[in-house]
Each structure stands twice: as C-alpha cells, then as structure tokens.
Structure 1
Amino acid sequence: MGLLTDYFRAADQDAARALGSREDAGPLTPVPGAGPGTATVDGVEAKGIEPVVVLGSLISAITGEDHDEDPALVWPDEESAAASDGPWVVELPASTRDALASLDDERAPGVAERWATAEELAGATGDDLHPFVTDLTALARRAVAADEQLYCWMSL
C-alpha cells in the first residue's frame, strides 16, 4: 500500500476542505456524471510525493537552503487525522508555493537532478522527476497569479 497524493490550488482552506473531503475520491478525480463545462480542479497527481520530507527536499533543491516549514492540517481535525489512514488535506506554506513558482524553466532539469539524490527518492532520476517538477511549478505559478494557496490531498 502506498501513499496517494494530489497537489491542487484553491482560494482558501474552506474551498480546499470541500474538495478534499469528497467521499468519492481525491480532488483531482472527475465528479461522476459531471457534464461538459463542469469546473475541474487545477492540480497535479503525485503518487507518493508527500508534502513534508519529499517535497521539502525539492524546495531545498530549488532554494539551496534547508526547508523546515511544515504544512498545516486543513481537514480533518487533528484527532480524526491521527486515527485514520486518510484522506487528509494540508495547506502548503506560502514560502513553498513561492519557491516553486520562482523556479524558471531553464533551471528545472538541474533541480530535478539534485532532487533525485534525496534518499526518499532512491532509484529515481532527474529525467523521471523533471515532468513533475515542471507541472508543480506551473501549478504554483497559477496559484500565485490567482492569489491562491497550494494544498495536498493524501490517503493511504
């Protein structure tokens, strides 16, 4: 059993909570029966890229500094989260969003190579990680442009 993660943008914690608490699946799963023109969630699927250690090592690869800011639990409450296998929704720090958004496309391959050296990504290569880095930085840029935050939905 692995960790499932989706990164997405939302206007605020209430919006993120509503998306993340859907009973049918994560926020990026299409709503059953939704017709054409139905709003979709802007996000990136990221199986296993958890938001503390693994994503933190990406932020360190971008900034060249230790990343020690943890995301804030948005849903469910602390007690329920501790007693379950998910799902959970956390809000990423604005500094994480901003570091991702600041990564220019020319630097992305080198950052992916540095990130691939993280112990938690053993076996991954920069080529493997580059598409995710590109997608996540683009998501962060759209979040900044819309004055939104980044969130992570997780479930075991």
Structure 2
Amino acid sequence: MMKSIVIYFSTSGNTEKAAKLIAKETGSDIERLQAKTAWPTNFDDLAALAKEQSENNIHPDITTDLDLSSYDKIYLGYPTWYEKPPMIIDSFFEKFDLSDKTVIPFSTSGSSTFEITLPYIESMVKGSSIKLEEGFRANSETEITEALA
C-alpha cells in the first residue's frame, strides 16, 4: 500500500497551513522541517538570512529526524524565497535517503509561480533514483484542491 507524508518548511505559517490541508486531503502523515538555528521572526532579518544562505550556498542543519523507510510518496512544501526554495530544502535532500521515493513539491509565494522554483528542485534530484512528480503552487485551498484532483 502506498503511504505518503507531507514534509514542510514554514516560517510565516503559510506553508504550514497548505501542508496541513494537503495532509488532510491525501490522508498523509505530516512533519515540519526544523533547522538547528532558529529563524528570525522579523521579516527583514529573515530576508537577509535567506539571501545570505542562498548567495553563499549555506545549507542549514536540520534537527528533524525522520524515518522515511515506510513512505513511498513525499509531498515537500516550502516558501519561495528569491525565486527559489530555501536552502534548508537542499539540506533535506542531503540528509535523508529518498532513493526510489516519489517527491511532489509544492510552494507558497506572494508573487512567484511554482515553476520558477522547479529547476532548483530538479537539480537536487538529478542523478538519483528519486521520482519527481509535477508540483504545484499552494497559496489557496482552490489551488491545492485542483492540484490534488
């Protein structure tokens, strides 16, 4: 039987809200990615840290410990920062063995399309046995429901 999990990274709560809805709609388990270092709560400080990590290819340590061996499908959620996934998503692909898993990415963004982040996700799975399915933007219940239909 195919078992799925929603794994997400969220700082403002938007991606968390989307992740919870996706988990409910798909009957998936759900887990939040936590970084070793707390993220700033002030938007300007958060944006500065995100930009620094991106420009210097810094992959933050993840404290979340997951046993993904019983899952076939992973819905992976993240906000779009500077037109790409946060660097903690790189850390996720490095930390966990996703061999032969299906990954369905979803993102939240006030201004960017989902497709703008896709080349980054594709580069993270290149050369692996990870099956990447078409992802989607998850800004609203309508977007999520349509994507999962």
Structure having the higher helix fraction is 1
Q: Which has the higher contact order (CA 8 A, sep 6+)?
A: 1
Into which bin does the TM-score normalised by the smaller protein fall? under 0.3
Q: TM-score of the superposition, structure 2-length normalised?
A: 0.27
Q: TM-score, normalised by structure 1?
A: 0.26
